[in-house]
């Protein structure tokens, strides 16, 4: 499944409303998910190579999706990619 998506507004949690909201006065960040089979195929090759080299651990990537978040200068955090692996997320900073 090759899926190129446009960036969408990034919601943030409002404690006062107890829900996720979009407030462009506070956050201009956007996100998109990446769900390309070819990308996960490349990760499989990389994981196989890591498993060959590490004699003590076995690694497996649980394929789901990758979320790219594009932060604007007014937002606190920099650009990053969140790789969703099962119920855990890993962050990779993008310079």
In 1-95, DSSP assigns E strands to 8-9, 12-14, 19-21, 30-34, 65-70, 80-85, 88-93
Could you give the angle at the alpha carbon of 45 between the alpha carbons of 39 and 51, nearest 5°? 135
pTM listed for this prediction? 0.51
Residue 35 has pLDDT above 50, yes or no: yes
Buried b or exposed e, range 23-40, using 16+ CB within 10 angstroms: eeeebebebbebbeeeeb
User: pLDDT tens across 60-75, in order?
Assistant: 877 777 888 887 776 6
């Amino acid at each position: 499944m090759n899926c190129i998506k446009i960036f969408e507004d990034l919601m943030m949690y409002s404690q006062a409303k107890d829900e996720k909201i979009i407030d462009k006065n506070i956050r201009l960040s956007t996100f998109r998910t990446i769900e390309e089979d070819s990308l996960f195929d490349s990760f499989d090759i990389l994981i196989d190579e890591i498993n060959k080299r590490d004699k003590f651990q076995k690694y497996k990537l649980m394929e789901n999706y990758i979320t790219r978040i594009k932060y604007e200068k007014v937002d606190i955090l920099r650009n990053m990619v969140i790789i969703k692996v099962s119920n855990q997320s890993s962050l990779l900073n993008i310079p």
